[in-house]
């Protein structure tokens, strides 16, 4: 669960909400519910169904059909992984000035370069990925507790804030298609993440039943997200300033989330393309992947490259995979029947 939660989320979870609440409160398109419900709708519950579908595919269907062994599928998939991985670093680069006030461009680019380096180093051993996932999950819960204690909102205040999320579930249908350009950006972003997170998470869910996987992917990660957004919404509503230690703690946890997202995805595409430590050697591995990711981050910064383009590629890839699966349904049925017969 720690690996899922921290690999499937990035620095946006930490840094976006306080900048987005005012937008959702003022723009007409979001006035069907409150700002907290909109924020939760952009990050929680239903969007995690993407992860469930792709994880289910890689657990059940891909081992039978091996569609991702087809060359063009393989390379398209890994291009998406690399580009989305770099986008995480780009978001961190973009939002740093909002949380480290007065940071110069030199320090901003330098910090991002160091973060990418640590992520690539962490990806060299699955044990680092595991412990970083556990550690970042624990720190995120501690951050929620810290901001909750500082706010003096109390349990009743937290309950009142959490209650606003009900506006999402009564309007859940509105989140299934783009309600604005910004919402479309989020949907493309989630599409980009979904296919690679499914691949990565499928390696850790052995033994879970389908309903258990569904709960693990839709409900459990949504709980800490709901608590975090509810605490931040109280800060926004009461105009409480994030200063000093609080701001530092948010930056630290955001950095760890970036590292955790990047190391998981770096390890995934490195294994898919056989660009591993065992093949390249640790020094070459670290240098090659650092140059690739940091170079792409700069590409997002200085060219028109957008995550929406990557999301469109994923949607096209989904359409092709559906077609291939339909054409090979006889092979899939035979493999599933043989598996059932063995059981």
Most confident of 27-41, 136-150, 296-310: 27-41
pLDDT(9) > 70: no
Residues 319-324: what's their mean pLDDT? 92
- CA gap 283, 31 in Å, rounded: 53
Degrees to nearest 5, angle at CA 49 with 274 and 62: 40
Burial 236-269 (b: 16+ CB within 10 A, else e): bbeebebeeebeebbbebbbbbbbbbbbbbbbbb
Of 15-24, 41-50, 272-281, the one with minimum mean pLDDT is 41-50
Question: Is 149 within 8 Å of 267 (Cβ atoms)?
Answer: no
Question: What does the DSSP 8-state code read for residue 251?
Answer: H
- Give the model's confidence band at 38: pLDDT under 50 very low, under 70 low, under 90 confident, else very high: very high
What is the structure's pLDDT at 201?
A: 81
Average pLDDT, the chain: 87
Classified as helix, coil or strand, 273 is coil
- Give the model's confidence band at 117: pLDDT under 50 very low, under 70 low, under 90 confident, else very high: very high
Question: Is 198 within 8 Å of 55 (Cβ atoms)?
Answer: yes
DSSP tally for the chain: helices H, then strands E = 19, 0
Domain count, the chain: 1
Residues 234-260: what's their mean pLDDT? 86
Segments forming the whole domain that contains residue 35: 2-342
pLDDT(167) > 90: yes
- CA gap 324, 222 in Å, rounded: 33
């Amino acid at each position: 669960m720690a690996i899922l939660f921290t690999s499937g989320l990035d620095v946006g979870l930490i840094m976006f909400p306080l900048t987005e609440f005012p937008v959702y409160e003022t723009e007409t398109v979001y006035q069907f519910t409150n700002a907290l419900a909109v924020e939760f709708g952009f990050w929680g519950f239903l969007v995690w169904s993407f992860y469930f579908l792709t994880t289910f595919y890689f657990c059940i269907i891909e081992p039978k059909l091996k569609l991702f062994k087809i060359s063009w599928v393989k390379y398209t998939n890994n291009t998406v992984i690399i580009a989305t991985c770099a986008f995480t670093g780009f978001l961190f680069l973009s939002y740093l000035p909002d949380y480290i006030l007065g940071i110069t461009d030199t320090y901003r680019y330098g910090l991002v370069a160091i973060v990418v380096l640590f992520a690539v180093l962490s990806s060299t051993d699955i044990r680092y990925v595991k412990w970083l996932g556990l550690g970042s999950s624990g720190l995120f819960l501690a951050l929620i507790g810290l901001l909750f204690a500082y706010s003096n909102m109390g349990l009743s205040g937290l309950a009142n804030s959490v209650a606003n999320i009900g506006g999402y579930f009564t309007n859940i249908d509105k989140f299934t298609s783009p309600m604005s350009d910004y919402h479309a950006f989020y949907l493309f972003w989630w599409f980009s993440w979904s296919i690679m997170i499914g691949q990565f998470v499928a390696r850790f869910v052995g033994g879970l039943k389908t309903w258990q996987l569904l709960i693990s992917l839709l409900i459990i990660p949504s709980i800490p997200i709901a608590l975090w957004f509810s605490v931040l919404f109280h800060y926004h509503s009461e105009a409480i300033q994030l200063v000093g230690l609080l701001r530092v703690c948010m930056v630290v946890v955001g950095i760890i989330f970036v590292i955790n997202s990047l190391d998981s995805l770096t390890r995934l595409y490195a294994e898919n393309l056989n660009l591993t430590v065992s093949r390249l050697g640790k020094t070459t591995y670290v240098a090659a992947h650092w140059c690739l990711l940091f170079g792409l981050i700069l590409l997002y910064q200085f060219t028109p490259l957008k995550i929406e383009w990557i999301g469109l590629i994923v949607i096209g890839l989904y359409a092709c995979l559906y077609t291939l699966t339909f054409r090979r349904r006889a092979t899939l049925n035979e493999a599933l029947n043989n598996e059932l017969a063995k059981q």
